Amino acid sequence: MPQIKILLDTNTYLRLAKSIHPLLGIEFGKEKFTLYIHKEIEIELNRSSRLQNKFNWMEQDEYRQNRKKKLIIKKSKQEEIENTYDYIWEYQKEQKLNLSREDIYCIATALELGTKLVTDDQNMIEVCNEFEVNVFSTLELMKLMFDNNHIDLNKISEITEYWKYENDLPANFQKDFKKFFK
């Protein structure tokens, strides 16, 4: 059975990678769910001193090595992704959504490859819904991981308590947490 690839945006990666390590490239569940990041995310992490300072752990070799588990995209699909990227870029510009190039690459890639995309960014979710990209939240991903015995309730509690401590709760956190874990 082939993997079911799930693409993470930057925020989701940063919210989970320290607590669930290794995060990327590890199959879980009977369906072989496997998490990946887009190569553009690595570029963003390498050039952003703000992210490097806030998440200094990501510079450690074990996390750098894990981020090498990027989504592999065939050259034949790359052109389609680039065309879709251009179209989504124009759409989000017209809508004044202010998405980054990394955000748009994640959306375009998920759309063209038919993969799931995990994000808590409300503007990204809006674009995903407009273009019928299969999108879900970090909490939904954690529920999937829990249902497939990849993480337990203690890990979920540890992660969400850390988010609270860092004042980094996803939008709709209270409602979604009750929906998935109560």
Q: Where are the domains of the chain?
A: 4-181
Q: How far is CA 57 from CA 53, 100, 108, in A?
A: 9, 23, 29
CB-based contact 32:3 (threshold 8 Å): yes
Name the pTM for this structure: 0.95
- C-alpha 171/C-alpha 174 separation (Å) is 9
Residues facing 116 on adjacent strands: 6
Residues of the chain with pLDDT under 50: none
Tokens of 143: 């529920």
- Residues 161, 163, 164, 169, CA torsion sign: negative
The CATH number assigned to the domain with range 4-181 reads 3.40.50.1010
Query: What residue spans of the chain are helical by DSSP H?
Result: 10-16, 39-47, 49-54, 61-66, 75-94, 101-113, 122-130, 138-147, 153-165, 173-181
- Residues 9, 11, 14, 15, CA torsion sign: negative
Supply the pLDDT for residue 1: 80
Supply the pLDDT for residue 182: 80
**Cα–chain center distance at 33:** 13
